[in-house]
Amino acid sequence: MATPEQIQAALDKISDQVKTQAEAAEKEIKAHAKLSEETRASVDKLLTQQGELQARLQSAEQLVARLEQGGGEAVGPKSMGDQVVENDDFKAWAARASGGGGSKFHMDVKAVVTSDGSSAGDLIVPQRREGIIAPGLRRLTIRDLLNVVRTTSNSVEYVRETGFTNNAAPVAENPSGIKPESNIVFEADSAPVVTIAHWIHASRQVLSDVPMLRSYIDGRLRYGLKLKEEDQLLKGSGVGLNINGLVTQATTYANPGVIVQAETRIDRLRLALLQVELAEAWADGIVLSPIDWAAIELTKTDDNAYLFANPRGIATPALWGRNVVPTQAMDPGEFLAGAFGGGIAAEVHDREDVNVMVATQDDRDFVKNMVKILMEERLTLTVYRPEAFVTGDFEGIDPEVP
């Protein structure tokens, strides 16, 4: 293969010959007002050779540059520009164009190919979205309804008043008999601290090489704990290692004696609030299934106008001046109304916040470079006044009526 210097020398020689032929052509034009066929053919040949040499020189210089940068000729993609300048038809056209002939050049440029002639389709890299697409996460709400305090023990003991006989009465200034006696009955109770935990197996190398994966696993494990915590706080059975939840300890709904015609879900919830109020507590919240809340929001008048919701606006979930909390932790058709805030009727006690531990103590894990990621928390729930919470269902209400 000729070196760039050799190609340049040949190009200089051709340029001199073109110059000589140009001078001869100029003399012929002055003498005869036209070029002879021999001179025209000679000029066209020299211009063609000049164009070819220029193209070869450009290719040689590019090759030398690649060799100097990479230490060897890399098999890379052949660009569309490379395909054009190496095309024989283009070289001929370039030679004519440099001498003033030709107007335009056209060729079909195909897909980019590698220098060995193979397709470069593998060079097209698919776009990748960073991170992991997580499934939908439930909005957790029950804990936010309650007062949260700390505990340093493995159980919380408390004394609840269960009865009060009030015999207070007016008496004379100097009574002849004994003044009236009242009676208060107490009951001792306790709520053991419960541990909620789970773990996952993972490769130590993967967690080290992909920090994002470690964060994702931490987040998913933490969400799993909180999801179970929500279910326990609301509906824990209190049996075995389970928290004794709000619904489990709440008073069962019973109409206090109000006659309601064509009772609806909204009516029943108002009666549940009344039941809490008659127990000398102030209900500040209602927990419902999102399905029941949607049915209530869609309540319409006889002329099909929405009763209290505005589809074009933002309506805060509320009924009778109390916040409504729609959550899938509550089954459809059921409800809970009660005095959640203030810590008077119930409290959450945190013993240990969510913590994570990574261990390789297992001999099999150690030799296989595996780790166990454990996440857990410790807490309990105390319900001081079960009568301050009322739970029930919408049984007996026409499902067509909110």
The pTM (predicted TM-score) of the whole model is 0.65
Q: What share of the chain is helix, strand, coil (3-state, %, to 5)?
A: 40, 25, 40
Measured between alpha carbons, how far is 102 from 95 in angstroms, rounded to an integer?
Answer: 9
Assess if residue 402 is contained within a domain. no
In a domain, 178, yes or no: yes
Segments forming the whole domain that contains residue 18: 4-106
In DSSP notation, 193-255 reads -EEEEEEEEEEHHHHHH-HHHHHHHHHHHHHHHHHHHHHHHHH-B-STTS-B-HHHHSEEP--
- 95 and 154 in a single domain? The answer is no
Number of structural domains found in the chain: 2
The verdict on 164 and 35 lying in the same domain is no
Question: Is a pLDDT exceeding 50 seen at residue 126?
Answer: yes
Q: pLDDT digits over 307-362, tens only?
A: 877 787 777 899 999 999 999 999 999 999 999 998 899 999 999 998 888 776 66
Specify if 305 maps to a domain.
yes
Domain assignment present for residue 268? The answer is yes
Residue 396's pLDDT band (cuts 50, 70, 90): confident
Element (H, E) at 353: strand 346-359
Q: Are residues 230 and 291 in the same domain?
A: yes
On whether both 150 and 211 belong to a single domain, the answer is yes
Domain match, 55 and 171 both? no
* Shared domain check, 308 and 216: yes
Q: Are 248 and 340 in contact (CB under 8 A)?
A: no
Examine residue 11 and state whether it is found in any structural domain, yes or no.
yes
* Burial readout 274-291 (b: 16 or more C-beta within 10 A, e: otherwise): bbbeebebebbbbbbbee
Flag whether 116 is in a domain: no
On whether residue 329 sits in a domain, the answer given is yes
3-class secondary structure per residue, 257-326: CCCCCCCCHHHHHHHHHHHHHHCCCCCCEEEECHHHHHHHHCCECCCCCECCCCCCCCCCCEECCEEEEE
Residue 130, in any domain of the structure? no
Q: What is the pLDDT of residues 78-106, one digit of tens each?
A: 565 666 667 776 666 666 665 555 555 55
In this structure, are 210 and 357 located in the same domain?
yes
pLDDT at 155: 93
Query: Does residue 291 share a domain with residue 244?
Result: yes
Where residue 370 falls among pLDDT bands split at 50, 70, 90? confident
Residue 397 has what pLDDT?
81
Structure confidence at residue 348 (pLDDT):
96
182 and 99, same structural domain?
A: no
**Domain limit, last residue, from 106, 128, 155:** 106
- Asked if the model's pLDDT at residue 250 lies above 90, the reply is yes
Q: Are residues 75 and 150 in the same domain?
A: no
**What are the distances in angstroms from CA 317 to CA 18, 253, 287?**
90, 22, 11
Percent of the chain with pLDDT over 90: 38
Which region among 51-55, 94-98, 118-122, 297-301 has the lowest average model confidence (pLDDT)? Answer: 118-122
| Residue 365 predicted with pLDDT over 70 | no
Lookup: tokens for 39: 């001179």
Which CATH number characterizes residue 383's domain?
3.30.2400.10
- What tokens appear for 176 in the block? 């002849």
Same domain? For 157 and 85 the reply is no
Strand, helix or coil for residue 60: helix
- Residue 281 and residue 171 share a domain: yes
